[in-house]
Structure 1
Amino acid sequence: MTADLWALVAAMLLAVVQLTLSSVLTLRQLGGAWVAGPRDESREVTGLSGRFVRAHRNLLEIFPQFVAALFLVHAAHAAGSLSTIGAWLFVIARLLYVPAYAFGPVGLRPICWLAAQVGIFVIVADLFV
Structure 2
Amino acid sequence: MTADLWALAAAMLLAVVQLTLSSVLTLRQLGGAWVAGPRDEPREVTGLSGRFVRAHRNLLEIFPQFLAALFLVHAAHAAGSLSAIGAWVFVIGRVLYVPAYAFAPPGVRPICWTIAQVGIFMIVADLFV
TM-score (normalizing by structure 2): 1.00
Deviation at 1:46, TM superposition (A): 0.1
Cα distance in 2 for residues equivalent to 1:118 and 1:17 = 23
**Secondary structure in structure 1 of the residue aligned to 2:60:** helix
Aligned to 1:57: 57
Aligned to 1:20: 20
Cα distance in 2 for residues equivalent to 1:7 and 1:96 = 15
Runs (4+) of structure 1 moved beyond 6 Å? none
Cα distance in 2 for residues equivalent to 1:115 and 1:93 = 5
Query: Aligned pair count?
Result: 129
Q: Which runs of 5+ in 2 are unaligned?
A: none
Deviation at 1:59, TM superposition (A): 0.1
Deviation at 1:106, TM superposition (A): 0.8
Cα distance in 1 for residues equivalent to 2:36 and 2:120 = 36
Aligned to 1:90: 90
**Secondary structure in structure 2 of the residue aligned to 1:126:** helix
Q: Which runs of 5+ in 1 are unaligned?
A: none
1:79 pairs with 2:86:
no
Cα distance in 2 for residues equivalent to 1:17 and 1:58 = 14
**Secondary structure in structure 2 of the residue aligned to 1:127:** helix
CA RMSD of aligned residues (A): 0.2
Cα distance in 2 for residues equivalent to 1:50 and 1:12 = 21
Cα distance in 2 for residues equivalent to 1:20 and 1:44 = 17
Deviation at 1:93, TM superposition (A): 0.3
Cα distance in 2 for residues equivalent to 1:9 and 1:69 = 15
Deviation at 1:68, TM superposition (A): 0.1
1:46 pairs with 2:46:
yes
Deviation at 1:99, TM superposition (A): 0.1
Q: Percent identity among equivalent residues? A: 90
Aligned to 1:37: 37
Cα distance in 1 for residues equivalent to 2:92 and 2:71 = 20
Cα deviations across residues 58-108 of structure 1 (Å, max 9, x unaligned)? 000000000000000000000000000100000000000000000001100
Aligned to 1:101: 101
Deviation at 1:23, TM superposition (A): 0.1
TM-score (normalizing by structure 1): 1.00
